[in-house]
Amino acid sequence: MTHSDGPAAVATPLSARKSSALKGRERVPGDKSISHRALILGALAVGETRITGLLEGEDVLNTAKAMQALGAQVARTGDFAWTVRGVGVAGFATPRNALDFGNSGTGCRLVMGAVAGCPIEATFDGDASLRSRPMRRIVDPLALMGARVTHSQEGGRLPMTLQGARDPLPIVYRTPVASAQIKSAVLLAGLSAPGTTTVIESEASRDHTELMLRHFGAQIVSEKEGVHGRKITLTGQPELRGANVVVPADPSSAAFPIVAALVVPGSDIVLTDVMTNPLRTGLFTTLREMGASIEESEVRGDAGEPMAQFRIRASKLHGVEVPPERAPSMIDEYLVLAVAASFAEGTTIMRGLQELRVKESDRLEATAAMLRVNGVKVEISGDDLIVEGNGRVAGGGLVATHMDHRIAMSALVMGLASEQPVTIDDTTFIATSFPDFIPMMQRLGAEFA
Ligand code: S3P
Protein backbone atom coordinates (compact mmCIF):
# COMPACT_ATOMS: atom_id res chain seq x y z
CA MET A 1 0.00 0.00 0.00
CA THR A 2 1.19 3.49 -0.73
CA HIS A 3 0.90 6.33 1.69
CA SER A 4 0.17 9.84 0.49
CA ASP A 5 1.09 12.45 2.99
CA GLY A 6 -0.15 15.66 1.48
CA PRO A 7 -1.20 17.21 -1.76
CA ALA A 8 -0.46 15.13 -4.85
CA ALA A 9 3.13 15.41 -6.03
CA VAL A 10 2.05 17.19 -9.20
CA ALA A 11 -1.10 19.30 -9.09
CA THR A 12 -2.99 19.31 -12.39
CA PRO A 13 -4.95 22.50 -13.03
CA LEU A 14 -7.89 22.56 -15.49
CA SER A 15 -10.30 25.17 -16.85
CA ALA A 16 -13.92 24.75 -17.87
CA ARG A 17 -15.38 27.16 -20.38
CA LYS A 18 -18.77 28.15 -21.68
CA SER A 19 -20.06 25.11 -23.58
CA SER A 20 -22.85 24.54 -26.03
CA ALA A 21 -25.87 22.46 -25.04
CA LEU A 22 -25.01 19.21 -23.23
CA LYS A 23 -26.59 16.14 -24.85
CA GLY A 24 -26.34 12.40 -24.34
CA ARG A 25 -27.03 9.44 -22.12
CA GLU A 26 -24.63 8.27 -19.43
CA ARG A 27 -24.37 6.19 -16.27
CA VAL A 28 -22.35 7.82 -13.51
CA PRO A 29 -20.21 5.43 -11.41
CA GLY A 30 -21.51 3.27 -8.59
CA ASP A 31 -22.61 4.78 -5.30
CA LYS A 32 -19.66 5.41 -3.01
CA SER A 33 -21.51 4.73 0.25
CA ILE A 34 -22.90 1.42 -0.99
CA SER A 35 -19.56 0.39 -2.52
CA HIS A 36 -17.70 0.81 0.81
CA ARG A 37 -20.42 -1.10 2.65
CA ALA A 38 -20.55 -3.96 0.13
CA LEU A 39 -16.81 -4.57 0.60
CA ILE A 40 -16.96 -4.30 4.39
CA LEU A 41 -20.03 -6.52 4.84
CA GLY A 42 -18.63 -8.96 2.29
CA ALA A 43 -15.48 -9.16 4.41
CA LEU A 44 -17.52 -9.79 7.59
CA ALA A 45 -19.72 -12.44 5.96
CA VAL A 46 -19.17 -16.13 5.53
CA GLY A 47 -18.94 -17.25 1.90
CA GLU A 48 -18.72 -15.28 -1.30
CA THR A 49 -20.09 -11.82 -2.01
CA ARG A 50 -20.38 -10.76 -5.65
CA ILE A 51 -20.51 -7.05 -6.29
CA THR A 52 -21.37 -5.51 -9.64
CA GLY A 53 -21.18 -1.80 -10.45
CA LEU A 54 -18.62 -1.12 -7.70
CA LEU A 55 -17.21 2.41 -7.73
CA GLU A 56 -13.57 1.94 -8.71
CA GLY A 57 -12.53 5.28 -7.21
CA GLU A 58 -9.54 5.67 -4.92
CA ASP A 59 -11.64 5.92 -1.75
CA VAL A 60 -13.30 2.57 -2.36
CA LEU A 61 -10.10 0.90 -3.59
CA ASN A 62 -8.50 1.86 -0.28
CA THR A 63 -11.34 0.13 1.57
CA ALA A 64 -10.83 -2.95 -0.64
CA LYS A 65 -7.13 -2.98 0.30
CA ALA A 66 -8.01 -2.61 3.99
CA MET A 67 -10.40 -5.59 3.79
CA GLN A 68 -7.62 -7.65 2.28
CA ALA A 69 -5.15 -6.51 4.95
CA LEU A 70 -7.67 -7.58 7.62
CA GLY A 71 -7.88 -11.11 6.20
CA ALA A 72 -10.65 -11.13 3.56
CA GLN A 73 -9.97 -12.27 -0.02
CA VAL A 74 -10.89 -9.50 -2.42
CA ALA A 75 -10.64 -9.95 -6.19
CA ARG A 76 -11.57 -7.91 -9.26
CA THR A 77 -13.27 -10.25 -11.71
CA GLY A 78 -14.22 -7.79 -14.46
CA ASP A 79 -15.14 -4.15 -15.07
CA PHE A 80 -16.68 -2.93 -11.81
CA ALA A 81 -17.20 -6.61 -10.80
CA TRP A 82 -15.59 -7.79 -7.57
CA THR A 83 -15.82 -10.78 -5.26
CA VAL A 84 -15.12 -10.86 -1.55
CA ARG A 85 -14.60 -14.02 0.53
CA GLY A 86 -15.23 -12.98 4.08
CA VAL A 87 -13.86 -14.04 7.45
CA GLY A 88 -17.13 -13.93 9.41
CA VAL A 89 -18.30 -11.49 12.12
CA ALA A 90 -15.44 -10.67 14.55
CA GLY A 91 -13.03 -12.61 12.33
CA PHE A 92 -10.62 -9.85 11.24
CA ALA A 93 -6.89 -10.53 11.73
CA THR A 94 -4.32 -7.96 12.90
CA PRO A 95 -3.01 -6.22 9.75
CA ARG A 96 0.74 -6.12 9.17
CA ASN A 97 0.87 -2.44 8.25
CA ALA A 98 -1.14 0.70 8.94
CA LEU A 99 -4.42 0.85 7.00
CA ASP A 100 -4.24 3.84 4.65
CA PHE A 101 -7.65 5.27 3.79
CA GLY A 102 -6.28 8.09 1.64
CA ASN A 103 -8.92 10.83 1.43
CA SER A 104 -11.87 8.77 2.70
CA GLY A 105 -13.64 9.53 5.96
CA THR A 106 -16.31 6.93 5.23
CA GLY A 107 -13.88 4.06 4.60
CA CYS A 108 -11.83 4.92 7.66
CA ARG A 109 -14.71 5.43 10.07
CA LEU A 110 -16.74 2.40 9.04
CA VAL A 111 -13.70 0.14 9.25
CA MET A 112 -12.92 1.58 12.71
CA GLY A 113 -16.35 0.29 13.75
CA ALA A 114 -15.74 -3.14 12.25
CA VAL A 115 -12.27 -3.38 13.86
CA ALA A 116 -13.65 -2.26 17.25
CA GLY A 117 -15.66 -5.49 17.39
CA CYS A 118 -12.63 -7.74 16.81
CA PRO A 119 -9.88 -8.69 19.31
CA ILE A 120 -7.15 -7.11 17.16
CA GLU A 121 -5.12 -3.92 16.92
CA ALA A 122 -4.99 -1.77 13.79
CA THR A 123 -3.51 1.60 12.87
CA PHE A 124 -5.58 3.96 10.75
CA ASP A 125 -4.06 6.63 8.56
CA GLY A 126 -4.89 8.84 5.61
CA ASP A 127 -3.81 11.85 3.59
CA ALA A 128 -3.45 15.39 4.95
CA SER A 129 -7.19 16.06 4.50
CA LEU A 130 -8.22 12.92 6.42
CA ARG A 131 -5.57 13.54 9.08
CA SER A 132 -7.23 16.88 9.82
CA ARG A 133 -10.73 15.43 10.35
CA PRO A 134 -12.33 14.66 13.73
CA MET A 135 -12.32 11.00 14.81
CA ARG A 136 -13.48 11.34 18.44
CA ARG A 137 -17.09 11.28 17.27
CA ILE A 138 -16.36 7.70 16.13
CA VAL A 139 -14.05 6.38 18.84
CA ASP A 140 -16.14 7.77 21.74
CA PRO A 141 -19.04 5.34 21.20
CA LEU A 142 -16.60 2.56 20.25
CA ALA A 143 -14.87 3.06 23.63
CA LEU A 144 -18.24 2.55 25.35
CA MET A 145 -18.36 -0.81 23.56
CA GLY A 146 -14.90 -1.79 24.90
CA ALA A 147 -12.48 -0.62 22.18
CA ARG A 148 -9.46 1.46 23.16
CA VAL A 149 -7.38 4.08 21.36
CA THR A 150 -3.78 3.22 22.18
CA HIS A 151 -2.22 5.97 20.10
CA SER A 152 -3.47 9.06 18.26
CA GLN A 153 -2.45 12.58 17.31
CA GLU A 154 -3.59 15.64 19.20
CA GLY A 155 -7.34 16.17 19.16
CA GLY A 156 -7.95 12.47 18.47
CA ARG A 157 -6.76 12.65 14.88
CA LEU A 158 -5.03 10.17 12.55
CA PRO A 159 -2.71 8.34 12.57
CA MET A 160 -4.52 6.40 15.28
CA THR A 161 -4.17 2.91 16.67
CA LEU A 162 -7.30 1.17 17.82
CA GLN A 163 -7.42 -1.91 20.03
CA GLY A 164 -10.65 -3.76 19.34
CA ALA A 165 -12.77 -5.20 22.16
CA ARG A 166 -12.25 -8.80 23.21
CA ASP A 167 -15.82 -8.95 24.55
CA PRO A 168 -17.72 -6.09 22.90
CA LEU A 169 -20.62 -4.63 24.86
CA PRO A 170 -23.95 -3.83 23.22
CA ILE A 171 -24.94 -0.19 23.81
CA VAL A 172 -27.79 2.22 23.28
CA TYR A 173 -26.25 5.26 21.60
CA ARG A 174 -27.81 8.58 20.68
CA THR A 175 -25.69 10.18 17.93
CA PRO A 176 -24.68 13.78 18.71
CA VAL A 177 -24.99 14.79 15.03
CA ALA A 178 -26.91 13.25 12.13
CA SER A 179 -24.11 11.10 10.73
CA ALA A 180 -24.39 7.81 8.89
CA GLN A 181 -20.71 7.28 9.55
CA ILE A 182 -21.16 7.37 13.34
CA LYS A 183 -24.31 5.24 13.15
CA SER A 184 -22.60 2.71 10.87
CA ALA A 185 -19.47 2.45 13.02
CA VAL A 186 -21.59 1.59 16.09
CA LEU A 187 -23.70 -0.93 14.16
CA LEU A 188 -20.65 -2.63 12.66
CA ALA A 189 -19.04 -2.94 16.11
CA GLY A 190 -22.42 -4.12 17.44
CA LEU A 191 -22.31 -7.09 15.06
CA SER A 192 -19.83 -8.76 17.43
CA ALA A 193 -21.65 -7.85 20.65
CA PRO A 194 -24.19 -10.15 22.32
CA GLY A 195 -27.76 -8.86 22.67
CA THR A 196 -29.00 -5.77 20.88
CA THR A 197 -27.14 -2.61 19.90
CA THR A 198 -29.32 0.45 19.41
CA VAL A 199 -28.56 3.72 17.65
CA ILE A 200 -30.94 6.66 18.02
CA GLU A 201 -30.63 9.61 15.69
CA SER A 202 -32.77 12.73 15.98
CA GLU A 203 -32.51 13.31 12.24
CA ALA A 204 -32.42 10.31 9.93
CA SER A 205 -29.14 9.86 8.04
CA ARG A 206 -28.61 7.61 5.00
CA ASP A 207 -29.66 4.03 5.83
CA HIS A 208 -27.51 1.97 3.45
CA THR A 209 -25.82 0.10 6.31
CA GLU A 210 -29.18 -0.98 7.74
CA LEU A 211 -30.53 -2.05 4.34
CA MET A 212 -27.40 -3.97 3.45
CA LEU A 213 -27.08 -5.65 6.86
CA ARG A 214 -30.60 -6.99 6.33
CA HIS A 215 -29.64 -8.12 2.83
CA PHE A 216 -26.71 -10.09 4.33
CA GLY A 217 -29.01 -11.80 6.83
CA ALA A 218 -28.80 -9.67 10.00
CA GLN A 219 -31.86 -8.91 12.12
CA ILE A 220 -32.20 -5.14 12.20
CA VAL A 221 -35.25 -3.01 12.90
CA SER A 222 -35.62 0.67 12.08
CA GLU A 223 -38.43 2.66 13.71
CA LYS A 224 -39.44 6.29 13.57
CA GLU A 225 -38.11 8.41 16.44
CA GLY A 226 -39.66 11.84 16.95
CA VAL A 227 -40.43 13.98 13.88
CA HIS A 228 -37.35 13.39 11.73
CA GLY A 229 -35.40 10.70 13.59
CA ARG A 230 -34.90 6.94 13.63
CA LYS A 231 -34.21 4.26 16.22
CA ILE A 232 -32.24 1.33 14.82
CA THR A 233 -31.92 -1.94 16.72
CA LEU A 234 -29.48 -4.63 15.63
CA THR A 235 -29.40 -8.16 17.04
CA GLY A 236 -25.75 -8.99 17.61
CA GLN A 237 -23.66 -11.96 16.55
CA PRO A 238 -25.60 -12.86 13.41
CA GLU A 239 -24.12 -15.17 10.84
CA LEU A 240 -23.78 -12.84 7.86
CA ARG A 241 -23.97 -14.74 4.60
CA GLY A 242 -22.22 -13.62 1.42
CA ALA A 243 -24.67 -11.97 -0.96
CA ASN A 244 -24.97 -10.45 -4.42
CA VAL A 245 -24.89 -6.66 -4.44
CA VAL A 246 -25.78 -4.53 -7.45
CA VAL A 247 -24.48 -1.00 -6.84
CA PRO A 248 -26.74 1.68 -8.36
CA ALA A 249 -25.30 4.90 -9.81
CA ASP A 250 -24.28 7.49 -7.21
CA PRO A 251 -26.77 10.37 -6.85
CA SER A 252 -24.00 12.50 -5.31
CA SER A 253 -21.95 12.04 -8.52
CA ALA A 254 -25.04 12.45 -10.74
CA ALA A 255 -25.47 15.84 -9.06
CA PHE A 256 -22.63 17.31 -11.19
CA PRO A 257 -23.94 16.49 -14.70
CA ILE A 258 -27.46 17.27 -13.46
CA VAL A 259 -26.59 20.81 -12.38
CA ALA A 260 -24.43 21.25 -15.51
CA ALA A 261 -27.38 20.31 -17.73
CA LEU A 262 -29.68 22.68 -15.82
CA VAL A 263 -27.39 25.71 -16.23
CA VAL A 264 -25.94 25.19 -19.74
CA PRO A 265 -28.66 26.57 -22.08
CA GLY A 266 -30.37 24.07 -24.39
CA SER A 267 -29.06 20.97 -22.57
CA ASP A 268 -31.07 17.75 -22.50
CA ILE A 269 -29.37 14.68 -20.97
CA VAL A 270 -30.33 11.28 -19.59
CA LEU A 271 -28.65 9.57 -16.63
CA THR A 272 -29.46 5.91 -15.98
CA ASP A 273 -29.76 3.84 -12.78
CA VAL A 274 -29.52 6.84 -10.41
CA MET A 275 -30.13 5.68 -6.83
CA THR A 276 -33.23 7.36 -5.38
CA ASN A 277 -33.12 6.30 -1.73
CA PRO A 278 -35.18 9.10 -0.13
CA LEU A 279 -32.43 9.73 2.42
CA ARG A 280 -30.16 10.82 -0.44
CA THR A 281 -32.43 12.89 -2.67
CA GLY A 282 -32.59 16.26 -0.92
CA LEU A 283 -30.77 17.93 -3.83
CA PHE A 284 -33.33 16.75 -6.38
CA THR A 285 -36.19 18.02 -4.18
CA THR A 286 -34.45 21.39 -3.84
CA LEU A 287 -33.62 21.74 -7.54
CA ARG A 288 -37.24 20.96 -8.45
CA GLU A 289 -38.39 23.65 -6.00
CA MET A 290 -36.03 26.01 -7.87
CA GLY A 291 -37.81 25.21 -11.15
CA ALA A 292 -35.57 22.42 -12.49
CA SER A 293 -36.88 20.02 -15.11
CA ILE A 294 -35.84 16.60 -13.77
CA GLU A 295 -38.03 13.69 -14.88
CA GLU A 296 -37.77 10.24 -13.37
CA SER A 297 -38.79 7.05 -15.17
CA GLU A 298 -38.10 3.31 -15.10
CA VAL A 299 -38.17 3.24 -11.32
CA ARG A 300 -36.92 -0.09 -9.94
CA GLY A 301 -35.01 -1.46 -6.99
CA ASP A 302 -32.41 -3.93 -5.82
CA ALA A 303 -31.54 -5.03 -2.28
CA GLY A 304 -33.83 -2.33 -0.90
CA GLU A 305 -32.18 0.48 -2.86
CA PRO A 306 -34.47 2.14 -5.44
CA MET A 307 -33.14 3.64 -8.67
CA ALA A 308 -34.52 5.46 -11.70
CA GLN A 309 -33.61 6.96 -15.04
CA PHE A 310 -33.34 10.76 -14.97
CA ARG A 311 -33.94 13.17 -17.86
CA ILE A 312 -32.63 16.67 -17.16
CA ARG A 313 -33.34 19.71 -19.31
CA ALA A 314 -31.85 23.19 -19.00
CA SER A 315 -34.17 25.26 -16.81
CA LYS A 316 -34.65 28.80 -15.57
CA LEU A 317 -33.97 28.52 -11.84
CA HIS A 318 -35.08 30.75 -8.97
CA GLY A 319 -33.80 31.11 -5.41
CA VAL A 320 -35.32 29.07 -2.56
CA GLU A 321 -34.85 28.51 1.16
CA VAL A 322 -33.50 25.05 2.04
CA PRO A 323 -34.57 23.96 5.56
CA PRO A 324 -31.94 22.61 7.98
CA GLU A 325 -33.72 19.28 8.42
CA ARG A 326 -33.04 18.52 4.75
CA ALA A 327 -29.27 18.66 5.29
CA PRO A 328 -28.66 14.95 6.06
CA SER A 329 -30.30 13.95 2.75
CA MET A 330 -28.06 16.24 0.70
CA ILE A 331 -25.03 16.80 2.90
CA ASP A 332 -22.55 16.23 0.05
CA GLU A 333 -24.50 18.32 -2.46
CA TYR A 334 -24.39 21.88 -1.09
CA LEU A 335 -21.34 22.83 -3.13
CA VAL A 336 -23.01 22.02 -6.41
CA LEU A 337 -26.33 23.43 -5.18
CA ALA A 338 -24.49 26.70 -4.55
CA VAL A 339 -23.40 26.60 -8.20
CA ALA A 340 -27.04 26.16 -9.31
CA ALA A 341 -28.04 28.98 -6.93
CA SER A 342 -25.43 31.26 -8.54
CA PHE A 343 -27.14 30.85 -11.94
CA ALA A 344 -30.65 31.24 -10.43
CA GLU A 345 -32.59 34.49 -10.16
CA GLY A 346 -32.91 35.63 -6.54
CA THR A 347 -31.66 34.59 -3.14
CA THR A 348 -31.04 31.00 -2.04
CA ILE A 349 -30.66 30.43 1.70
CA MET A 350 -29.22 27.10 2.84
CA ARG A 351 -29.70 26.58 6.55
CA GLY A 352 -27.95 24.40 9.14
CA LEU A 353 -24.69 23.61 7.36
CA GLN A 354 -22.40 23.18 10.39
CA GLU A 355 -21.40 19.64 9.33
CA LEU A 356 -19.92 21.02 6.09
CA ARG A 357 -17.05 22.38 8.15
CA VAL A 358 -15.68 18.87 8.86
CA LYS A 359 -15.84 17.25 5.42
CA GLU A 360 -12.88 16.64 3.07
CA SER A 361 -12.30 20.40 3.52
CA ASP A 362 -14.18 23.18 5.32
CA ARG A 363 -16.83 23.17 2.63
CA LEU A 364 -18.74 26.11 4.03
CA GLU A 365 -15.76 28.45 3.63
CA ALA A 366 -14.65 26.75 0.41
CA THR A 367 -18.07 27.15 -1.22
CA ALA A 368 -18.20 30.85 -0.36
CA ALA A 369 -14.64 31.31 -1.68
CA MET A 370 -15.46 29.44 -4.93
CA LEU A 371 -18.44 31.68 -5.60
CA ARG A 372 -16.77 34.92 -4.54
CA VAL A 373 -13.72 34.46 -6.76
CA ASN A 374 -16.11 34.02 -9.70
CA GLY A 375 -18.05 37.21 -9.00
CA VAL A 376 -21.07 35.75 -7.18
CA LYS A 377 -22.45 37.55 -4.12
CA VAL A 378 -22.36 35.14 -1.18
CA GLU A 379 -22.44 35.36 2.58
CA ILE A 380 -21.97 32.96 5.49
CA SER A 381 -24.23 33.82 8.40
CA GLY A 382 -23.64 31.49 11.37
CA ASP A 383 -24.20 28.04 9.86
CA ASP A 384 -26.22 29.34 6.90
CA LEU A 385 -25.05 30.07 3.38
CA ILE A 386 -26.78 32.82 1.42
CA VAL A 387 -26.25 33.08 -2.34
CA GLU A 388 -27.54 36.07 -4.34
CA GLY A 389 -28.14 34.79 -7.85
CA ASN A 390 -28.80 37.10 -10.78
CA GLY A 391 -29.11 34.60 -13.60
CA ARG A 392 -25.49 34.82 -14.72
CA VAL A 393 -22.00 34.18 -13.38
CA ALA A 394 -18.97 36.23 -14.42
CA GLY A 395 -16.43 33.43 -13.84
CA GLY A 396 -12.76 34.07 -14.48
CA GLY A 397 -11.71 32.79 -11.04
CA LEU A 398 -9.04 30.36 -9.90
CA VAL A 399 -10.60 28.00 -7.37
CA ALA A 400 -8.54 26.35 -4.62
CA THR A 401 -9.75 22.74 -4.30
CA HIS A 402 -8.22 21.94 -0.86
CA MET A 403 -7.83 18.19 -1.67
CA ASP A 404 -11.63 18.04 -2.06
CA HIS A 405 -13.11 16.23 -5.08
CA ARG A 406 -16.48 17.91 -4.78
CA ILE A 407 -15.03 21.43 -4.86
CA ALA A 408 -13.13 20.48 -8.02
CA MET A 409 -16.18 19.11 -9.83
CA SER A 410 -18.52 21.90 -8.66
CA ALA A 411 -16.14 24.62 -9.88
CA LEU A 412 -15.76 22.93 -13.27
CA VAL A 413 -19.56 22.73 -13.60
CA MET A 414 -19.74 26.45 -12.85
CA GLY A 415 -17.25 27.19 -15.65
CA LEU A 416 -19.40 25.41 -18.26
CA ALA A 417 -21.97 28.22 -18.13
CA SER A 418 -20.09 31.27 -16.79
CA GLU A 419 -19.05 34.21 -19.01
CA GLN A 420 -15.32 33.60 -18.47
CA PRO A 421 -13.68 30.20 -17.83
CA VAL A 422 -13.34 28.87 -14.29
CA THR A 423 -10.02 27.25 -13.39
CA ILE A 424 -9.29 24.78 -10.60
CA ASP A 425 -5.83 24.38 -9.12
CA ASP A 426 -5.93 20.57 -9.12
CA THR A 427 -8.01 17.79 -10.66
CA THR A 428 -6.20 14.99 -8.77
CA PHE A 429 -8.82 14.38 -6.08
CA ILE A 430 -11.68 13.88 -8.56
CA ALA A 431 -10.34 10.30 -8.81
CA THR A 432 -11.44 9.59 -5.23
CA SER A 433 -15.13 9.42 -6.20
CA PHE A 434 -15.65 9.96 -9.95
CA PRO A 435 -12.57 8.86 -11.92
CA ASP A 436 -14.40 9.18 -15.25
CA PHE A 437 -15.80 12.67 -14.58
CA ILE A 438 -13.80 14.62 -17.15
CA PRO A 439 -14.21 12.23 -20.13
CA MET A 440 -17.89 11.66 -19.28
CA MET A 441 -18.60 15.39 -19.16
CA GLN A 442 -16.68 15.80 -22.44
CA ARG A 443 -18.85 13.11 -24.07
CA LEU A 444 -21.87 15.19 -23.03
CA GLY A 445 -20.29 18.25 -24.69
CA ALA A 446 -18.42 19.96 -21.84
CA GLU A 447 -15.36 21.98 -22.89
CA PHE A 448 -12.28 21.80 -20.71
CA ALA A 449 -8.80 23.11 -21.42
C1 S3P B 1 -21.39 8.94 4.23
C2 S3P B 1 -21.95 9.74 5.17
C3 S3P B 1 -21.84 11.21 5.15
C4 S3P B 1 -21.31 11.74 3.82
C5 S3P B 1 -20.20 10.90 3.28
C6 S3P B 1 -20.65 9.47 3.08
C7 S3P B 1 -21.58 7.48 4.35
O8 S3P B 1 -20.96 11.62 6.19
O9 S3P B 1 -20.89 13.07 3.93
O10 S3P B 1 -19.75 11.41 2.03
O11 S3P B 1 -21.35 6.75 3.36
O12 S3P B 1 -21.96 7.03 5.44
P13 S3P B 1 -21.52 11.85 7.71
O14 S3P B 1 -22.16 10.61 8.11
O15 S3P B 1 -20.30 12.09 8.56
O16 S3P B 1 -22.41 13.04 7.62
Dist. CA 201–CA 187, nearest whole Å: 13
Strands 23-26 and 268-275: parallel
Give the Cα separation of 409 and 398 in Å (integer). Answer: 13
Give how many domains the chain has, as a whole number: 2
Distance from Cα 106 to the centre of ligand 1, integer Å: 6
Pairwise CA distance, residues 259 & 442, whole Å: 15
Say yes or no: 309 and 328 in one domain: yes
Q: What spacing in Å lies between the alpha carbon of 109 and ligand 1's midpoint?
A: 10
Q: Which residues are catalytic?
A: 332
Residues 53 and 143 placed together within one structural domain of the fold: yes
Query: Is the C-beta atom of 332 inside 6 A of ligand 1?
Result: yes
Q: pTM surpassing 0.75?
A: yes
User: Could you give the CA distance from residue 116 to residue 146 in angstroms, rounded to a whole number?
Assistant: 8
Range of the domain at 178: 32-246
Q: Flag whether 2 is in a domain.
A: no
Is 236 in the same domain as 277? Answer: no
Q: Which residues are 24's β-sheet partners?
A: 269
Residue 155 lies in a domain: yes
Indicate the residue among 220, 246, 272 that finishes a domain. 246
Question: Do 232 and 116 have their domain in common?
Answer: yes
Tell whether 36 and 26 lie within a shared domain.
Answer: no
Task: Specify the pLDDT at position 9.
Answer: 66
Residue nearest to atom 15 of ligand 1 (CA): 179
Cβ contact 43:442 at 8 Å: no
Whether residue 101 is found in the same domain as residue 113: yes
Whether residue 440 contacts residue 412, with contact meaning beta carbons closer than 8 Å, is answered with no
Q: How far is the CA of 421 from the centre of ligand 1 (A)?
A: 31
Residues 6+ apart with CB under 8 A from 443: 24, 26
- Using the atom order of ligand 1, give the atom closest to the CA of residue 331: 9
Residues 157 and 259 in one domain: no
Q: How far apart are CA 156 and CA 387, in angstroms?
A: 35
**Are 188 and 48 contained in the same domain?**
yes
Do 64 and 125 belong to one domain? yes
Do residues 401 and 427 both lie within one domain? yes
Is 342 within the bounds of a domain? yes
Q: Do 108 and 124 form a contact (C-beta atoms < 8 A)?
A: yes
> What letter would DSSP give residue 326?
G
CA distance 419 to 314: 17
**Residues β-bridged to residue 414:** none
122 and 252 belong to one structural domain: no
The two beta strands, 305-313 and 293-302, are antiparallel
Cα dihedral value 407, 410, 411, 415, nearest 10? 170
Res 315: pLDDT: 98
Nearest partner of 112 among 99, 129, 130, judged by Cα: 99
Beta-sheet strands, E only, within 89-144: 99-100, 121-125
**Residue 169 and residue 223 share a domain:** yes
| H helical segments located in 240-357 | 251-263, 282-289, 334-343
- Cα-Cα end-to-end distance for the chain: 33
Whole-number Å distance between alpha carbons of 449 and 444 = 15
H helices of 290-433, in order, are 334-343, 363-372, 405-415
Q: pLDDT per position in the chain (449 positions), as tens?
A: 333 444 456 999 999 999 999 999 999 999 999 999 999 999 999 999 999 999 999 999 999 999 999 999 999 999 999 999 999 999 999 999 999 999 999 999 999 999 999 999 999 999 999 999 999 999 999 999 999 999 999 999 999 999 999 999 999 999 999 999 999 999 999 999 999 999 999 999 999 999 999 999 999 999 999 999 999 999 999 999 999 999 999 999 999 999 999 999 999 999 999 999 999 999 999 999 999 999 999 899 876 799 999 999 999 999 999 999 999 999 999 999 999 999 999 999 999 999 999 999 999 999 999 999 999 999 999 999 999 999 999 999 999 999 999 999 999 999 999 999 999 999 999 999 999 999 999 999 999 99
**Is 118 in contact with 71 (CB distance < 8 Å)?**
no
Smallest CA separation from ligand 1 atom 11, residue:
33
CATH assignment of the domain containing 376 = 3.65.10.10
The response to whether residue 138 sits with its C-beta less than 6 Å from ligand 1 reads no
Q: What is the DSSP code (8-state) at residue 30?
A: B
Indicate whether 263 belongs to any domain: yes
- Tell me, using a 6 A CB cutoff, whether residue 33 lines ligand 1: yes
Is 5 part of a structural domain of the chain? Answer: no
Separation of CA 179 and ligand 1 centre (Å): 6
Ligand 1 pocket check for 38: Cβ under 6 Å: no
The minimum-distance atom of ligand 1 relative to the CA of 180 is 14
| Residue 8 CA, ligand 1 centroid: distance in Å | 24
- Identity (one letter) of the amino acid at 297? S
Q: Is the CB of 338 under 6 A from ligand 1?
A: no
Is residue 4 included in any domain, yes or no? no
Instruction: Please give the distance of CA 19 from its chain centroid, rounded to a whole number.
Output: 28
Query: Which of 222, 246, 270 finishes a domain?
Result: 246
Residue 415 lies in a domain: yes
Paired with 122 in beta bridges are 162
Is 267 inside any structural domain?
A: yes
Cα angle for residues 137, 39, 32 (degrees, 5° grid): 65
* Residue that is last in its domain, among 217, 246, 275: 246
